Structure 1
Amino acid sequence: MPRAARPTPAALPAPDWWAEGVEALLAAHGFDPGGVTLTPNPEPLDGLLRLILAQQNTWTVAQRQWDALKAAYPRWEAALLSEPEEIEAVLRGAGGGLARSKSRAIWGILRRLEEERGQPSLRFLHRLSSAEARATLQALPGVGQRTASLLLLFHLAQPAAAVDGNIERLLQRLEVVPPNWKADRQEQWLEGVLPPSAAFRAAFHRAGVRHGRDICTRKAPACSACVLREWCPSAQFFMAESLPE
């Protein structure tokens, strides 16, 4: 027998409870889309480099690295005169992981923009469509779909559906997407099941991240405190596991 076709993100519908569940998630963490204001970053390059520093780092460490980077290179043209190893030393001095790969990504982005645009800047993204901006970003060294989506949403105020590790885990535990789908396919699915509003999607992203950090944690999730518990197949497993023998 021929194998059944795998569902595509565009063809997979949201469950009946999805809209109610999303509203419960937003309310539980105090993120009202009506109160979200997104202001485009005048220099999206700054936002992109901050996002790179935040990869597998806490925001506290990423901020410390950012401060050290800006102190060493007040203008990005100055960073281009350095070697990647010098940028790496700055990042290592501020603490945090992946200093080697991040320094090379940062230097590579600056170099690519200098070569192709004549200056290390992403201000031109404001004149592009979302699709054009995404393609431009994902062509840069070290920039994948997740980083591009976060930049589009929070630094260009475009209605991208960004998925981080917390949201990826949440969607898989809710079983609203197939377990083998990675963040890129989950983002495509969210594009079709969330309102096409940048403010709404920013609120959903922030609520999802907060929920993953505080409630739907990687280990020992607090299912009894979860507002999505009644719709979550995983909750029964985790709650039964936590019962005393």
Structure 2
Amino acid sequence: MITIRHANDRGHASFGWLESRHTFSFGSYYDPQQMGFSHLRVINDDKVTPGAGFDTHGHQDMEIISYVLQGRIAHKDSTGNIKELPAGEFQLMSAGEGILHSEFNASDTEALAFLQIWIEPNVRGGKPSYQQKAFGKQHGLTKILTPDGRDGTLSIKQNCQLDQLILDYNKQETITIQPSRNLYIHQIEGELTLPDGTELRPGDGVKVRFEETLTLKNIKQIQAKALVFDLA
């Protein structure tokens, strides 16, 4: 079963310095039909004006992923990390028993665009941790997050996997889905076509349940990029 959630159907928040689209219920946006998918709880598509950002705030027992689409994030947290996260890099912050952090647009002239993703952990408490890495722009599927950090991936406290998918024109990828597993696809750039001919555009999401395989194809002449979540 394949269920599509189009970009324009997402929740919206506007604060002047921040424009955000919410795939799932978040903040003042509430939809009882969109409370997450498996352990995936939040996908926020955030755009931050130059020099602005999120002041120091706290998290607990959540795996928080940031993926920068444009610009740079200036990150600071209560464990002593002071980092910059440029476009194309992934950050995983395991909040554990509790962490305080701030996120700002590191530029005074350029906009910042990034995805903020929350995944509920399967282990609560423990010391918070921080990971950051770029995984390049290889075509096909590239592993980003795994439970055991294998093959140089970021290690997440959950039975899930995140892949980056990049396809050029007229290329396709067939994903094998293990029994009892689910996929969530978040389209980032370009367009991908589902087996029934439906086209996914930036911001669109797809829930995939009870399928053995899923074939995604790029029939447009611009490169397509998406995130693929493998979830229990």
- TM tier, shorter chain? under 0.3
Q: Which has the higher strand share?
A: 2
**Larger-Rg structure:** 1
Under a length normalisation based on structure 1, what TM-score does the superposition of the two structures give? 0.25
Under a length normalisation based on structure 2, what TM-score does the superposition of the two structures give? 0.26
Q: Which is bigger in relative contact order (C-alpha 8 A, separation at least 6)?
A: 1
Q: Which has the higher helix share?
A: 1
